Amino acid sequence: MDSILNSVKKVIGGDPTDNSFDTDLIMHINSIFGVLRQEGIGPESGFRITGDTEVWNDFTADDITLEMVKSLIYLRVRMIFDPPSSSLVAESFKEQIKELETRLYFEKNYGGFVSNE
């Protein structure tokens, strides 16, 4: 199982063994989990991490939702913690965040399938 904190560190280019920024990253990750709770994603009682012991399946066992949540958390943490210097890359991240949030909404409310009829 992947530690939430360590996997976020890895995708933002950090060393999972370096804990210099753990407090900052934990705060940002937990903020995003709070936003997801308000959107009805994840445990009804909410979810937070305190270190590197919590794993992704602690948040949800739903693989489809989980993969989108992982991407969303990475993008949002990156935008807060280490924003891209290129405005084009930043805009691309923002668009990806919006798309993931929309798809999570549809997954939560319609089981992922939306008919065009």
Number of domains forming the structure of the chain: 1
pLDDT per residue over 64-115, tens digit each?
899 999 999 999 999 999 999 999 999 999 999 999 999 999 888 887 666 6
Average pLDDT, the chain: 92
Q: What is the 3-state secondary structure (H, E, C) of the chain?
A: CCEHHHHHHHHCCCCCCCCCCHHHHHHHHHHHHHHHHHCCCCCCCCCCCCCCCCEHHHHCCCHHHHHHHHHHHHHHHHHHHCCCCCHHHHHHHHHHHHHHHHHHHHHHHHCCCCCCC
pLDDT per residue over 29-66, tens digit each?
999 999 999 999 999 999 999 999 999 999 998 888 99
Range of the domain at 71: 4-110
Residue 116 covered by a domain: no
Residue 115 covered by a domain: no
pLDDT score, position 109: 85
